[in-house]
Amino acid sequence: MIQFNNLNQEIPYLLFKSKYDEALNLGQKGIEAISVSTYESKTNEVDSRYVNLKFITNDEFIFFSNYDSPKASSFISHDQIAVLVYWPSINVQIRIKAKIKKTIKEYNKNYFFHRSEEKNALAISSNQSKQIDTYSQVKENYDKSFKNNDLKKCPEYWGGYSFVPYYFEFWEGHESRINKREAFNMTDGVWRRLFLQP
């Protein structure tokens, strides 16, 4: 589930929320999963991964991750991302382009404090995406962290990311194949609406 707080009242945000509600009402599983694509200048590669979108607060989309992970490094090298959502229950794809930045420490600390100890033990124990010799070592590191760490204290290497879209495209599949593509582009602080051919 995504939590909406004080949602921005401009059309693309309202459309996002109304599609979300439709999909949720039809029992869409994994509704909070979004694909985030990045560019890493060190390797000249693009990459994608899913994350769970936790909040949309006004115009900011927020998820949480490890600040030492490959994605974190890519956000530094290139702060522009592409985000993708597909909700099969309503046959809607949403494409977003945005600039991304870290959330502030106080926000991370507060969010971490209220999460489950199990989730926190894993966040503390994992050097996200670093190689490890065996899978059982992951479990050992987790168990150690669960026993020995303060599970309410947010580590420096963990926290939120917030992105503010400057482009949305809503793609709606229709049986006739006459699919609807409605896009919104932010120019000079104003959302410009356009339709694209399928």
Of 8 and 66, the one with the shorter C-beta distance to ligand FMN is 66
Of 158, 130, 181, the closest CA to residue 15 belongs to 181
For residues 104 and 123, what is the distance between their CA atoms, to the nearest angstrom? 18
DSSP characters over 77-132: H--EEEEEEEETTTTEEEEEEEEEEEPPHHHHHHHHHTS-HHHHHHHHH--TT---
C-alpha distance from residue 94 to each of 97, 158, 195 (Å): 10, 27, 14
Compute the distance between CA of residue 151 and CA of residue 120 in angstroms, rounded to an integer.
Answer: 6
Smallest gap from residue 35 Cβ to ligand FMN (A): 9
Q: Of the two residues 21 and 45, which places its CB atom closer to ligand FMN in the complex?
A: 45
Binding segment toward ligand FMN, per CB under 6 A, in 18-26, 50-58, 100-108, 132-140: 50-58
Stretch that binds ligand FMN, among 13-21, 58-66, 89-97, 136-144 (CB under 6 A): 58-66
Query: Cβ 32 to ligand FMN, closest distance in Å?
Result: 8
Least Å from the CB of residue 16 to ligand FMN: 18
With binding defined as CB under 6 A, does residue 51 bind ligand FMN? yes
Smallest distance from the beta carbon of 141 to ligand FMN, in angstroms? Answer: 16
Alpha helices by DSSP H, the chain: 11-25, 70-77, 105-113, 117-125, 135-148
CB atoms within 10 A of CB 27: 8
Q: Determine, following the binding rule CB under 6 A, whether residue 127 of this chain makes contact with ligand FMN.
A: no
Retrieve residue 80's tokens: 């522009």
Q: Check residue 141 for interaction with ligand FMN (CB under 6 A).
A: no
In angstroms, give the least distance from the CB of 165 to ligand FMN: 18
Amino acid at 136: S
Q: Which residue in 8, 69, 103, 126 binds ligand FMN (CB under 6 A)?
A: 69
Q: Scanning residues 156 to 185, which ones bind ligand FMN (CB under 6 A)? A: none
Chain residues in the site for ligand FMN (CB under 6 A): 30, 33, 47, 49-52, 63-66, 69-71, 128-129
